[in-house]
Amino acid sequence: MNDILAKLLPLVVALVFAPLAMGIIQKVKAFFAGRKGFPVFQMYRDLYKLMHKGVVYSRSTTWVFRLAPLLVLGVSLIAVAWLPFGGLRGLFSFQGGFIFVAYLFGLARFATLLASLDTASAFEGMGANREALFAILAEPATLLAFAALILTSGNSSLWGAISWGQESSFAEFGVVPLLALVSFFILALSENSRIPVDDPTTHLELTMIHEVMILDNSGPDLAYIEYASALKVWFYLVLMANIVTAIFSISGWAQILAMFGFAFLLASIIGVVESSITRLRMKKVPDFIGSAVAFALLALVLEGIL
Amino acid sequence: MLLIVVLITDLTMAANSRLGTCINITAIQGFALGFLPLAIGLEKGMSFELVAIAVIGIALRGILFPYILHRSLLNSGTSRELKPIVGYFLSVAIVLVLIFASLWISIRIDFIAPQLLLLSTVALSTIFVGTFFIVGRRLAIMQILGYILLENGIYCMGLAFVQDIPMIVELGVLFDAIVAVFVMSVATNKIHEEFEHFDIQKLDSLKG
Amino acid sequence: MLFGGFLAVPVFGVLLILVSKSSRQALMIMLAAALGGALLSGILAAQVAQAGVIEVAGGLFRADHFSAWHMIILAIIVFLPSSVYAYTYFGGGKGIDLGYAKRFGMLWLGAFAAMSTALLSGNIGIMWVAIEASTLFTAFLIFRQGNAASLEAMWKYIIMCSVGVAFAFIGTLLMAAAGQQAGLEGGDSLLLQKIYLVRGALKPSLALTAFIFILVGYGTKAGLAPMHNWLPDAHSQAPGPVSAMFSGFLLNAALYCILRFLPLFSPSDGGASVLQGGEAGSMLAGAALASSKAQIILMGFALLSLVISSAFIFFQKDAKRMLAYCSVEHMGIIAFAYALGPIGTIAGLFHTLNHSFAKTAGFFSAGSLGKKLHTNELAGFSGASKRYPLYAIGFAVSLLALIGVAPFSVFMSEFMLVSSTVAAQRFLPLAIFLAATSIVFLVMLKHAIAILWKNAPGEEKAVTPDGAPGGMSGGVPPISEYLVIGLPLAFLLVLGLWMPHGLSDFLTKALDSLWSMK
Amino acid sequence: MMLFGIGIGVLVGGGLLTLVLKKSAGINKLGMASVVAGNAFVLAAAVEGIAGRYAGEVYQFFLPLPVGAVLFSLSPLSSFFLLVIAVVTGLAAVYAPKYLAHYGEMPWRFQAHWLLYNLLAASMMLVVTAQNAVFFMLAWEGMSLSSFFLVLFQNDRTEVRRAGWIYLVFTHVGAACLLVMFALLAQASGSFDFDAMRAAAAGFSPGLKAAIFVLALVGFGMKAGFFPMYVWLPEAHPAAPSHVSAVMSGVMIKTAIYGIVLTLGLLGGGQGTELWMGWTLVVLGLVSGIFGIAFAAVQQNAKRLLAYSSFENIGIIAIGLGVWFIGMASSNEVLAALGLMAALLHTVNHALLKSLLFMGAGALQLATETLDLDRMGGLLKKMPRSGLAIIAGAVAISGLPPFNGFVGEFLLYSSVFVQGFGSSLVRAVYVIAILGGLSIIGALAVFTFTKLVGTSLLGEPRSNHTAHAHEVPASMYVPMLVLAGLCLFIGLFPLPVMSALKLVLADSGLVVVGQLPSGIVSSLAAMQWVAFALIGLIGVLALVRSRVLSLHKVENTSRHKVGSTTWDCGYHNPTPRMQYTASSFAQPLASFAQPLYSPHSDGSIGPDLFPAPVARKISFPDLILDRAIKPMYSWISRAFETFSIIQHGNTHWYVLYIVIALLAVLFWSFVI
C-alpha cells in the first residue's frame, strides 16, 4: 500500500506544482518586460474561475469536440504519473514506456486537432494544420532523444536510465545525456507552444498554433485544457531536471530538493528565452525543431561509437 | 563449254536493260543447263533418268519459262528497265566480283572433286547473280528472272554436290519451279492491271 | 494407304470443286474435304500412338509422334475450323462469285495437301518441294480482286518466300552432300533418318552451313525475324480464314522443317536420356544442357524475333498486323523453346498447340470484326463489344490468351518454358524473353481493354449503360462462328488446368521422336 | 479439411449460381449469402488449422495440371492468413449489396461481379494454402485476374480502364519474376512441390538464395506495393467499388506478404537468410512507409489517400519482415520472433483497418456522391454510426493507443531494446532507422488522418450533396462497426492475440518462438491496464464536468449553452466555404517538401487590383508513375517507333535482309 502511495507521489507533485511553474515563467517574462506581472499563483485562480463558468458549444461541433478536453487532460495525467521524479518512481514503468507515453501524447494531439477542425473555423483549421505539420519533426526528435538517454544507460525504461546516473560517472557518457537534454529543451519549447515556435500570449490569431486551436473552448473544457498544458510543461521540466540530477549524480533527499530547484530554474530559463528571442517565421520553425532531431541523432550516433 | 555459256549469260543479263533480251538470255541459259545432265551422262554413262531430266529441263527452262515471261511482257507493254536500283555498269562489276567470289568459295570447299570445280563456281555465281537481280532490279519481271537464275544455280549446285537425287525429288523441284514462275507471272499481270506499272519499288504502301 | 489419303482427299476435293456448279457447292466440297483431312489425321495420330513410327516407300514418307502432333494441329485445330469459318466468312457462297469460290477452294485444299506432305515426308527433298508448293498455293489466297494492297502483300510473300525457300533448298542439297560424304548412298542422303544415323560422321562445318541455309530459308517462311517482313503484310491483307490458316499453321509447318534438322546436331543421344515420363522433376534433372551451335543460332533468331515483334506490336495500329507480329513473337517463343534442346521441347510442343488455338480464334474474330466494322484499325475496334459481342469478346479473350493470362494454357506453356530455360541456365535469353513478352502484354492488354469496354469512336456515352448483350445491332452470328471462336478458347481454358494423361504421354513421345528419331 | 473444401465449393458454386437469377436484388443477396456461407466453413477450417489440427498434412486434389499438382495444406500459418481472408471478404460481402444497389439495376454486371468476387475470395484462399509452385501460380494468377475484372466494374470510365490496365501490367511483371523464382527453386530441388524445396534447401548456394530473394522481393513486391512498385495501388483502389478496394487493400496485397514468408520458408528458414536481405527489407520498408504516407497526406481523393496509406502500411510490414530476417541471419531468436510477429500482427491490423476505412470511404461516397474531401464536411452529424467507425479506424491506423495499430508498431519499437546483433554502431543505426522512421510515419499518419476525418466528418458541409447526406443502410455500417470493434479488441487485449500468434508460428519452422522476452509481455500487460485507466479517467473527468455544469445550472441556467455559432474571433456567421479544406491542409506540407511533391497547379491568383473570381487546382503527380514511368514509357515508344524503318515496305530490302541474315550467320559460324 505504501508502495503504491510512494509511486503516486510524482503525480501528486505534478498536480500541485504544475500551475506554479507556469506562474514562474510568466513572472520571469514580466520581469524582463519591466512589468510587475501576475502573481505566480494566478493560474490556480484562473482554473478555479473557469471551472465555475458555463460552456458554449457551437452548432457545428459534435461529440468529438466534447471528448477532446477530457482525453487531453487524461493523457497529461497519465504522462506525469509515469514520469519518475528524482528518486521517486512513477506509477508504472515498463520497457518502452516512453514510446507508449509519446504515443499517448499523439492521441491527445489527434483529439485536439479533430476538435479544432470540428468547429468549422478557418483559424482553428489553420492552427490544427500547423500543429500536425510540426509534429512530423517533433515526434522523431522525442523518441530519438529518449532512446539516446535510455540506450546509453543500457536499460530499457526511463526509470533505469535515470537511476543509472548514480552509479556511472559524468565523463564516461556525459555528452550523450547532455545532447539529449538540449534536444528535450528545444522540444519543451516547441511541444508546449512557447516562443520561438508559438506565442501563447499573442493577440494575432493568424500567427498562433496551439492557442488558436482552442479558441472555441470555454468553461470547464478550457480549464481542462489549460491544466493539461501546464502538466505537459511540468512533464518536460521534470524530465530535464531528472537528466540534470542524473548527470550530477545527486541522490537521496537532496535529489528531491534538487529536482524542484532545477525544475523551477528551467522554468525561469524558459521565461528568459521567451523574453530574449522573437518568434520565428512559420517557414523557419521546422529548422528549429529539426535541430532537436539533429541533437538527438548526434546523441544516438555518439552512443553507438562510444 | 555449257558452263561458260551460263557464266556469260549471267554477265550479259547484268548489262542489259531490255526485258525481252533478258528473257532470251535466260532461255539460252536454260538450254545450256538443260544439256548439262547429258554432258554429265557422257562422262559417267547415260541413264534414262538423266535423259528424262534433261528433256524436261530443256522444255521448261529453255522454252516454257521464256514463253510465259514474254507473254507477261506483251501484256504489260514495258520494254526496258530504265532506272535500276543498281546501275548497269556497277551491276556488271558486281557480277564479276560475285563470280570470282564463287570461284574462291568453290576452291575453299574441300570436298568438291576438281572436275566439278567449274560446275560449282557456275552454280554459286548463278545463285548469287539471281539474288542480286531480285535485290537490285525494280521491275517485277526482272525479279522473276532473278528467281529463275537462282533456281538454275541451285540446279547446277545439285548436280555438283549431290549424286543420284531421286527422280521424284528432281521432278518435284522442277514442278515447283514452273508453278512458281507461273504464279509469279500471273501476279505480275495482276500487278500491271492494278497499278499500271511493274515497279516493285513503288509497291510500298504496307509499312510498320 | 493412309498417307495416300492425305493426298487423295484434297485431290479428289479439287476435282469435285472443278465441276461444282455454285460457289456454295464449291465451299461445301471444300468443307467436306477438310473434314476428311481431319478424320485422316485423327486416324494417323491413333495409329502412331499405337505403333510408334509408320513408314512407307522406304522412309520416303514417315510419321512419328512429332509429325502426328503437328498433323493434328494442322488438320483438326487449324484447317477444319478455318474451313468452317471460311464457309461462313464468304456467306456460305453468297458473298462471292463461282470463279473465286472455285479458285479459293482448290488453292485451299492444295495448301492442305502441300503442308501435310511436308509434315509426313521423311525425305528432305520432298519436304522442300512441299513447302515451296504450299507457298505457291497460298499466294493467291492472299489476293482479293480489286484490292491493290493485297496484291502488293502477295507479291512480297511470293518473292520473299521463294527466295528464302530457295536458300533452304541449297541447305537441303548441302545436307545431302554432307550425308554422302558421311557414306550415304545416293537417295539415302536425302532421308532424314539415315542422315541422323550417321550424324556423328557428318562434316561439322558443312552440316552447319547446310543448317544455316535451311534455317534462314525455312525461317523466312516461318516468319522469324529479320526475314519476317512479308508476314504482317500478308496476314493483314488476306481474308480472315486465310490469315488464320497462315498464322495457325503455315508458319508452324516451316518451323517444323527447321526443327527436324536440329537433332542432327544434338551432342548426345537426344531426348532419351532426358526423358523419363515427362515428369517435371526428371525433366529438369536432365544433364543435356550443352547446346549445339545449331541451337545457339536458332536461339539468336528466336530472340531477334521476340525483340523486333515486341517493338512493332508496341506501336501497331492495325489489328491484323498486330496479330501478325504476335505470330512472329510466338514463332520466336516456339523456336526459343526448341533451341533449348530436349529440355524445352515439351514446352515448345505445347505452345505450338496453344498458339494455334488462340491465333485461329483471334484471326476469326478479328476478321469478322474487320468485315463488320469496315476497318482493321484497332482504334475502330474499341467498344465493339457492345455491337458485336461475339467477335469483340472473342478477339479480346484471344488476345488475353495470347499474352499468357492464366488460366489459359498459354500461361502454362510459358511457365514450362521459363522453367526449362532456368533448367538450361540460359538466363540472358530468359531476360530478353520476359522483357519482350511483358511489353507485348502491356500493349495487347491495353487493346483488349479498349475493345471490351472503351466507348466506340464517335460515341460519347456508352450505347447501353449495362453493356449487356441486348444492345447488339450486327445481327446474330451463325452458330458455327460461336463454335470456331468459342471452342478453341474453351480448349485453351481446359488445357490450362487439365492435362489428360494421354496427352502428356503423347507429348513425351513426340519429344523422343524428335530428338532420337524413334 | 472437409470444411475447407466445402467452403471453396460453396464460394465457387454460389458465384456460378448467381448467373441463374434475373433481378439485381436477388443476385446481390445470393452472392452475399454464398460468400458468407462459404466463408463460415473456411473460417471453421482456419480455426481448426490454427489449433494445429491439420499440421503437417498435404492434401491432393485429383485435377492433373499440365505441370505440377494441386497440393495444399492447412498449416497454422496458412490458416492464419485464411482466417483474415475469410473475415474480411465475408464482411465486405455483407457490405456489398447495398453499395452495389446505388449503381442501379444492371443484373448482368452484378452476376459477373459476384462470380468474380467469389473467385477472388476462393483464389486468395488457395494461394495461402497451395503447396505446389504451379498450383500456387495458378491461384495467384486467378486472384490477379478476378481482381482485375472487379476493378473494371465501372468500365465505362476512362480512368477506371487505365487503372485496370496499369494494375494488370504490374501484376504480370511481378508474376513473371515469380515464375522465374519458382523455376530456380524447382531446378535446384528437382520438384515444384514446396515440401521438396524445403527439403532441398540446405544445398542451395548463396548466389541462388540471393537471386531467389531478389526475385521474391520484386515479384511479391509488385503485388504488395513496395517502393517503387506500388504504382498500381493509388490507381486501382479508387477505381474499384469500395468493398472490392477493401478486399484488395485489406487482404489481397497481404497474400504477397504471405508469399515472402513462404519464400523464406522454402529457402530453409534461418539458413536461408543473410544480413543484407534483412537490411534491404528494412530500408525498403522505411522508404515505402515514409513515401506512402507522405503522398497520402496531400491527396484530396479519399480512396486515393487510403491507397497511398496501404503502401505505407505495407512498408511497416516490410520493416517487420526485415527485422525478422536480420534476427534470423544473426541468430538472434528474440529479434526474429519480434520482427515476424510484428509483421503478422500488422498484417491482421491493417487488413481490418484498411477494409474498414475503404468501406467507410464507400459509405461517404454513397452519401455525398463524391470522393473529393474538399466537397465533404460535417458528415458525422448526418452519419453518426459510419462516422464513429471511420474515426475509430483513423485513430487506429495512425498507430495510436488504445487501438490495434499501436500494438503492432510497439512490437517493432520494442526490437530496439534487443541486443546482440552487430556492433554498437550498427545497433545505433538500427535504432535510428526504426525509431526515427516509425515516428515520422506515425506523425505523418496523424497529419493525414486528422485531415481525412476533419474535412469529411467534422465541420460544416462544403457542398449541396453533402449537406443533404443520409446515413447508409445498416448492412453497410454494421460490418464497419464490427471491424472497428475488432480493432479496439486487439488494441485492448493484445496478450491473447500474441498467444494466438505464438501458436501460429510455433511449429512453422520459420522462427523459434520460445518464450517471448518477459519485457514485452509485461509491457503489453501494463499498457493494457493503462489504457483501461485512461478510459476510466476520461469517464471520471466527464463526470466531473457534467457535475460542475449541472451545479451551475441551478445558479444560472443560461450558462450551459449549446447551439451558438462558432466564435471564430468575432467573425459573424462564418460560412462553410471559409473552412480549411483538405487541399489547404496539405498545402504547407507540400511547400515544405516541394522537391518530393513538385505540386502542379492550374490557374493562378493574379495580383490584380480588383481580383476576379479565380479557380485554382493543385495536383500532386505521383513520384514514380508520373515522374519516372511516364517519361520512360514515352521514351520507349519513341525508341520503338524508330524500329518502323525496318518495315518500310520495300521488297528489295526485305530480300536483302534475308541475304544479310544468311551471310551474317554464316560468317559467325565460321569465325566462332
The neighbour count for residue B111, using CB atoms within 10 Å, is: 12
Contact between residue B208 and residue C316 where contact means Cβ atoms under 8 Å apart: yes
- Reported as type and span, the H/E element at residue D401 is none
DSSP class per residue in C34-101 = HHHHHHHHHHHHHHHHHHS-EEEGGGTEEE-HHHHHHHHIIIIIIIHHHHHHHHHHTGGGTTS-HHHH
- Nearest CA of chain C to the CA of B90: how many Å? 23
pLDDT of residue C468: 41
- Nearest CA of chain D to the CA of C277: how many Å? 12
Number of domains observed in the structure of chain A: 1
In a domain, C285, yes or no: no
- Whether residues D665 and C212 touch (CB distance < 8 A) is answered with yes
C460 and C356 in a common domain: yes
pLDDT of residue C472: 44
Size of interface B-C (CB pairs under 8 A): 123
Neighbours of B, requiring at least 3 CB pairs below 8 Å, are C, D
- Nearest CA of chain B to the CA of C456: how many Å? 24
C305 and C422 in a common domain: yes
Contact between residue D476 and residue D97 where contact means Cβ atoms under 8 Å apart: no
- Range scoring the smallest mean pLDDT among A163-167, D183-187, D429-433: A163-167
What is the pLDDT averaged over residues D413-437?
Answer: 87
pLDDT at residue D627 above 90? Answer: no
Neighbours of D, requiring at least 3 CB pairs below 8 Å, are A, B, C
Contact between residue D75 and residue C511 where contact means Cβ atoms under 8 Å apart: no
The neighbour count for residue A289, using CB atoms within 10 Å, is: 25
For the segment B32-69, what is each residue's pLDDT rounded down to a tens digit? 888 887 877 777 777 777 788 888 888 888 888 888 88
pLDDT at residue A242 above 80? Answer: yes
pLDDT of residue D548: 86
- Is the Cβ of D210 closer than 8 Å to some Cβ of chain C? no
Contact between residue D390 and residue D367 where contact means Cβ atoms under 8 Å apart: no
- Range scoring the smallest mean pLDDT among A203-217, A281-295, C15-29, C396-410: A203-217
In a domain, C281, yes or no: no
Residue D151 burial (CB < 10 Å; 0-12/13-18/19+)? buried
Number of domains observed in the structure of chain C: 3
Prediction ipTM score: 0.90
- Reported as type and span, the H/E element at residue D198 is helix D194-200
Instruction: Decide: helix, strand or coil at residue D600.
Output: strand
pLDDT at residue D542 above 80? Answer: yes
- Range scoring the smallest mean pLDDT among A254-268, C180-194, C431-445, D213-227: C180-194
C490 and C355 in a common domain: yes
pLDDT of residue D506: 83
D-chain residues near A92 (CB < 8 A): 526, 529-530
Q: Over chain B, what HEC string results?
A: CHHHHHHHHHHHHHHCCEHHHHHHHHHHHHHHHHHHHHHHHHHHCCCHHHHHHHHHHHHHHHHHHHHHHHHHHHHHCCCECCCCCCCHHHHHHHHHHHHHHHHHHHHHCCCCCHHHHHHHHHHHHHHHHHHHHHHHCCEHHHHHHHHHHHHHHHHHHHHHHCCCCCHHHHHHHHHHHHHHHHHHHHHHHHHHHHHCCCEHHHCCCCCC
C-chain residues near B205 (CB < 8 A): 148-149, 152
Question: Within 13 Å and on the Cβ side, how many CA atoms surround A75?
Answer: 25
Contact between residue C128 and residue C168 where contact means Cβ atoms under 8 Å apart: yes
- Is the Cβ of D647 closer than 8 Å to some Cβ of chain B? yes
For the segment B142-155, what is each residue's pLDDT rounded down to a tens digit? 888 899 889 888 88
pLDDT at residue C271 above 60? Answer: no
For the segment B107-131, what is each residue's pLDDT rounded down to a tens digit? 877 666 677 788 888 888 889 888 9
pLDDT of residue C279: 41
pLDDT of residue C251: 95
Cell output for C454: 472503351
pLDDT of residue D527: 92
Q: Tell me the C-alpha distance between D421 and C441, whole Å.
A: 45
What is the pLDDT averaged over residues D591-608?
Answer: 76
For the segment C371-412, what is each residue's pLDDT rounded down to a tens digit? 888 888 888 888 888 888 899 999 999 999 999 998 899 999
Place of cell 501458436: D503
- Is the Cβ of D661 closer than 8 Å to some Cβ of chain B? no
Nearest by CB to D450, which of A117, A124, A283?
A117
For the segment C95-132, what is each residue's pLDDT rounded down to a tens digit? 788 888 999 999 999 999 999 999 999 999 999 999 99
- Is the Cβ of D264 closer than 8 Å to some Cβ of chain C? no
Pairing state between β D69-72 and D59-64? antiparallel
C340 and C217 in a common domain: no
- Range scoring the smallest mean pLDDT among A209-223, B40-54, C72-86, C141-155: B40-54
Cell output for C505: 504421354
Q: Tell me the C-alpha distance between A141 and A155, whole Å.
A: 19
pLDDT of residue A120: 87
C-chain residues near B172 (CB < 8 A): 125-126, 129, 133
**Banded pLDDT at D190 (limits 50, 70, 90):** confident
Q: Tell me the C-alpha distance between D400 and C431, whole Å.
A: 45
Question: Within 13 Å and on the Cβ side, how many CA atoms surround D662?
Answer: 28
What is the pLDDT averaged over residues D164-172?
Answer: 94
- Whether residues D106 and C155 touch (CB distance < 8 A) is answered with no
**Banded pLDDT at B168 (limits 50, 70, 90):** confident
Nearest by CB to D169, which of C284, C300, C442?
C442
In a domain, C270, yes or no: no
Cell output for B206: 504496307
D-chain residues near A135 (CB < 8 A): 443, 446-447
D-chain residues near A219 (CB < 8 A): 549, 559
Contact between residue B62 and residue B30 where contact means Cβ atoms under 8 Å apart: yes
Do chain B and D touch: 3 or more Cβ pairs under 8 angstroms?
yes
pLDDT of residue D553: 61
What residue numbers bound the domain in which C470 lies? Answer: 291-518
In a domain, C277, yes or no: no
Question: From its phi and psi, is residue C20 left (phi > 0), alpha (psi between -120 and 50) or beta?
Answer: beta
**Banded pLDDT at D380 (limits 50, 70, 90):** very high
Contact between residue D38 and residue D10 where contact means Cβ atoms under 8 Å apart: yes
For the segment C126-140, what is each residue's pLDDT rounded down to a tens digit? 999 999 999 999 998
Contact between residue C249 and residue C206 where contact means Cβ atoms under 8 Å apart: no
Least Cα distance to D418 among A230, C116, A280, A156 occurs for: A156
What residue numbers bound the domain in which A126 lies? Answer: 2-305
- Whether residues D176 and C434 touch (CB distance < 8 A) is answered with yes
**Residue in chain B lying closest to C181 (CA):** B111
Residue boundaries of the structural domains of chain B: 2-202
C149 and C35 in a common domain: no
pLDDT at residue C277 above 50? Answer: no
pLDDT of residue D658: 92
Range 55-84 of C in CB contact (< 8 A) with B:
60
